Amino acid sequence: MPTLHSPENPVAEKAWRDRPGVDLRQARRTSVCHGVTMNTRTDAPGFLSAATRFLFFTGKGGVGKTSLSAAAAIALADAGRRVLLVSTDAASNLDEMLGVPLRNQPVDVPGVPGLAVLNIDPDAAAEAYRLRVLAQLDAGASEDERATVREQLSGACTTEIAAFDEFAALLAQEGAGWDHVIFDTAPTGHTLRLLSLPKAWSGFLAGNDRGASCLGPHSGLKMQEARFNAALAALSNEVTTTVVLVTRPDPRPMQEAARTADELRTLGLSNQRLVVNGVFHATVQKGGQVDPTARAMEALGLRAITQMPEALARLPCDEVPLRAFDTVGLPALRALLAGPGRESAPAAVPAAPAGAELPAEPLSRLADELAALGHGLIMVMGKGGVGKTTIAAALAVGLVRRGHSVHLTTTDPAAHVAGTLNGSLPNLKVGRIDPKAETEAYITKIMATRGKALDEQGRALLLEDLQSPCTEEVAVFHAFSRVVNEARSAFVVLDTAPTGHSLLLMDATGAYHRQMMQQYEGGNHGVHIITPLMRLQDASTTHVLLVTLPEFTPVSQAAALQDDLRRAKIEPWAWIIHKSVAATGTTDPLLQARLAGEHRQTARIAGGLARRTFVLPWLAEPPVGVAALGALAAPAAQAA
């Protein structure tokens, strides 16, 4: 059986030869960021030297938001500031990076005086929110009335708004004791949702002076209005708030960062900076030789930089070079933002155990095995930026090429499936669970059913309640349930949102399951209930594929996601390691140093994390389009 470390990557040299119009010598003399040659800087990056009180690090999953936000927080604390580092990502691994447990209260970081870290825990926030709303009820409220309110406060939308309430409190008043509050946010789609809530809820409350929402009695919700307004004012204040858009030198995260920049401007967040993280330059070795993989990798990055979207090109910008070490631990995080000559590598970490080679099956084998099942739901899950969309699209094309009809869809608000496919194929249906469209359809359906028998005033009250931002969560869950049900007789390949957002969707699925079980439990209704959660738990119907990069953070988050799924009695079917550099045989010193980290992560996976593992090597040309995607999972006869 081939292994992960088999040295073969025939496309690297070809990509270098065929690179479109990139002159490396000229490009290296040209700055990424407005003429400032950041690789030779000795000053601090602009987001530190001109740091506002609130800093939001956002961007596509996998671009390095957590590493950069943690490094920025440490640098500011080392400069004598009092800093609070806040994670809004349900899948955050700040605890591993900093070596401290995350709680929903500030925890001091040993070794960094002045720095504390806080994680907005959605479950803890929801319970605290419920208690606050219940406390607003009249003293004479009956137990039945209180129980009704508790039921109204039990949904996933309450969890979301409660987490947002904690976030708003930090912007409104609870962040007053800190010189800087730095937010390490969830991947882009989820963060846009979070940052849009101050305006959405302020507008909803301003136009709603009666009734109840899914967050309980309106009188209880109204108490939050001042906090939401204060949060909105803080977000739109250029003197106090900066949005740091983080990207890699790669077209897709750059495109997403550009869209995010435009959307945030419409929300009033106009003070923005750009950070291009992980900029790689190949090493010229003895005799003037440059490793072909390194040359191809540098050419791809420079191509993306020279074609940067205009929305990003006009922003003030900082560049952070690709480092040879994992950004875990205080020494590594301090070294991440250090200038040349001051970025000494952290203390050496143990090498991977001998004999830890990972059996590495190709993606074509995975497609063969899935095709043999005949139908089912294939959920492609993992941290943002690990390549879930590429894997999902490649498997969908592979299944069609094996004679099946496939519905390829996504729950990711950022929705890149259509762009990755970049074409059509008979028997391949491409869709998207669009939150806005699903919400409009849900409201229309509810008004036509529940509102049908109501008088004009009743319909007005119902519509007013449905205008709540929480309605979107309910609508998206219903659309997800339809997709799950579709897999009973066909293949559905689901490209999921990044981990944190997907876990919220799983919470909604679990909440619905419990509600249905309670409703029918113990009664003889003559109805056999099968909930979406039960279908996800059925190993004959649902196959969960965890995608990771061979790096510390994605592997850790995939392992944590696997634990969460197992608690819900959903067993992952296989892991997929994406963009492995080990198979390239590179001789570049920086890439070789990073390979030591890759070997450690594959050893972790081989040590018991995955029952089955499939590997897709690093490719010099990103696979976009039906033909390129089909080649990744082509049947053996076609591949030959």
Residue 10 lies in a domain: no
- CATH at 435: 3.40.50.300
434 and 312 inside one domain: no
Condensed to tens digits (0 to 9), the pLDDT of residues 307-361 reads: 999 999 999 999 999 998 888 899 999 999 987 655 555 554 444 444 445 567 8
CA gap 201, 222 in Å, rounded = 10
DSSP secondary structure letter of residue 170: I
241 and 382 inside one domain: no
Question: How many domains does the structure of the chain reveal?
Answer: 2
The pLDDT confidence band at residue 94, using thresholds 50, 70 and 90, is confident
Q: List the structure tokens of 164.
A: 């947002």
384 and 293 inside one domain: no
279 and 420 inside one domain: no
Q: Quick one: pLDDT at residue 153?
A: 66
301 and 372 inside one domain: no
Most confident of the following: 319-333, 458-472, 497-511, 530-544 = 319-333
326 and 379 inside one domain: no
Residue 175 lies in a domain: yes
380 and 500 inside one domain: yes
Q: Quick one: pLDDT at residue 355?
A: 41
518 and 635 inside one domain: yes
Asked whether the predicted pLDDT for residue 400 surpasses 70, the reply is yes
Rg (alpha carbons) of the chain, rounded to whole number: 25
156 and 254 inside one domain: yes
Residue 2 lies in a domain: no
Q: Quick one: pLDDT at residue 359?
A: 63
Asked whether the predicted pLDDT for residue 303 surpasses 60, the reply is yes
Residue 358 lies in a domain: no
Condensed to tens digits (0 to 9), the pLDDT of residues 98-132 reads: 989 888 889 999 999 999 998 887 777 777 777 77
Asked whether the predicted pLDDT for residue 49 surpasses 50, the reply is yes
Residue 12 lies in a domain: no
**In the predicted model, what is the mean pLDDT of the chain?**
77
Q: Which domain holds residue 261?
A: 24-32+43-336
Q: What share of the chain is helix, strand, coil (3-state, %, to 5)?
A: 50, 15, 40
493 and 595 inside one domain: yes
Kindly report the pTM of this predicted structure: 0.71
Lowest mean pLDDT among 475-479, 543-547, 578-582, 633-637: 633-637
Residue 341 lies in a domain: no
325 and 371 inside one domain: no
- The CA–CA distances, whole Å, from 349 to 68, 96, 210, 330, 522 equal 21, 15, 60, 14, 57
408 and 507 inside one domain: yes
Q: Quick one: pLDDT at residue 313?
A: 92
Residue 82 lies in a domain: yes
Lowest mean pLDDT among 140-154, 348-362, 554-568: 348-362
Q: Quick one: pLDDT at residue 190?
A: 52
Residues with a known catalytic role: 62, 64-67, 89, 553
CA neighbor of 12 nearest in space, from 549, 554, 580, 421? 580
Residue 348 lies in a domain: no
Q: What is the dihedral of CA 141, 147, 152, 158, to 10 degrees?
A: 100
In the listed set 286, 319, 336, which residue is the last one of a domain according to the structure? Answer: 336
The angle that helices 456-466 and 435-449 make with each other, rounded to 10 degrees, is 160
